[in-house]
Structure 1
């Protein structure tokens, strides 16, 4: 079995729960409360800065120059996504990403997710780091593709769906999945097991991230 297939099989239930989440349903039927989406955008802006750093660590640990370039470009792309997509959304909310992230804290689910990412990419092997960053690529691509045909009556949510369902993003994710299969050719059983663990963990954090926005998560004390 190709490594990508083994990884995805391990999170089929998580992905099903994501597609069934009211936040995701609310994007396509237009019923998602604006405040829930704003919560998501602000926390995602916090998250993406550290995600870009995690990709940069993967670039530094990459076994060859082509893979270094691949992850370095994706790290730059994550920053660009924050500055363009999120800034556009925040303008619609009468604010800006810079103002929101300067005044609104990183909340528990975001903090937990990025802390796990950074610990894994710094302390684990290159393969383990790739497994940890992969759900943010792959789940967004799958969700974007699944929602693209449905669209949304809300222009704001339609814009989000179009970004992640777009062929350009899908192509980026296919390149990472090709890399994952190449990694899988030479893995020990132990490292394969660690990749599966990290992949499943950060996939669960993806569900938690959307759920936190839906719930309006705040620090309890």
Structure 2
């Protein structure tokens, strides 16, 4: 059950490279109730208002560092399952860039909090981070190629749309503004559009069962994205 302290929601349709009748457009429509909850979450509201406590953002950055390492591995596994050379190059490059983000964007945040990379490594992954990473790795390692694409799609697409929403408001806190600008950038948006084009191309080869399976995995990824911010906000830990 979502927390009762969510802020008022904001949402809009997300354009897709293949148009309003594409498979990805239908995926986005199916995810709108989750996306609305994401945009209304107090974590994101605190970023733009500048009121998010440093400790909450620190928890998020540490867990995101753990997550991005798993995400990079998931992209590498997805690249290994790709059937098109261009897809292999895109996914493998995206995996390498995920590691670059972890080292460049997060390193400055972690240093500002007086932490070292060793401190981050010594901090356990919380339940949500563990579950989300395992979810991605399971589908990219053992699923068919479309299922691998579905498992990594939410991190790209949700963050792009969150960045687009938040950049219009901005943040008075420089580190929060830098985070927003990263995901609102034209470079990141072009990367997302490329992945959406790949998804639409492969969706054309799937039957109804395959498309339904893809949508189920995509929606589960969206739910994990909501939980990731919520876990940091509420200091989720292992109960035992």
What is the TM-score normalised by the length of structure 1? 0.98
Cα distance in structure 2, aligned partners of 1:176 and 1:139: 13
1:183, CA displacement in angstroms?
Answer: 1.1
Tell me, yes or no, if structure 1 residue 210 matches structure 2 residue 229.
Answer: yes
Describe the superposition over 1:10-55 as per-residue Cα deviations: whole angstroms up to 9, x where unpaired: 1100000000000000000000011110000000000111100110
> Aligned residue for 2:70?
50
CA distance in 1, matches of 2:105, 2:72: 15
Q: Which residue of 2 aligns with 1:175?
A: 194
How many angstroms apart in 1 are the aligned matches of 2:202 and 2:108?
A: 37
Q: Counterparts of 1:187 and 1:74 in 2: how far apart (Å)?
A: 24
Structure 1: where are the runs of 5+ without partners?
Answer: none
Q: Which residue of 2 aligns with 1:70?
A: 90
Partner residue, 1:102: 121
Distance in 1, Cα, partners of 2:74 & 2:29: 24
Does the CA-based 8 Å contact 1:29-1:153 persist in structure 2? yes
> Which whole-Å CA distance do the structure 1 matches of 2:120 and 2:91 have between them?
25
The separation in 2 between residues aligned to 1:71 and 1:147, in whole angstroms, is 27
2:209 paired with 1:190: yes
The residue that corresponds to 1:114 in the other structure is: 133
Q: Which has the higher helix share?
A: 1
Which of residues 68, 79, 90 is equivalent to 2:99?
A: 79
Q: What is the aligned length? A: 220
d(CA) in 2 for partners of 1:75 and 1:102?
20
Structure 1 residues 43-70: Cα deviation after superposition (integer angstroms, max 9, x where no partner): 0000111100110011111111111000
The alignment status of 1:7 with 2:27, answered yes or no, reads: yes
Shift of 1:101: 2.4
State the 1:5 CA deviation: 0.8
* Correspondence for 1:30 among 50, 54, 65: 50
Moved over 3 A (4+): none
Instruction: Give the C-alpha shift of residue 100 in structure 1.
Output: 2.7
What is the TM-score with the length of structure 2 in the denominator? 0.90
Asked which structure has the greater RCO (Cα within 8 Å, sep 6+), the reply is 1
RMSD: 0.8
Unaligned runs of 5+ in 2: 1-20
The answer on 1:39 being equivalent to 2:59 is yes
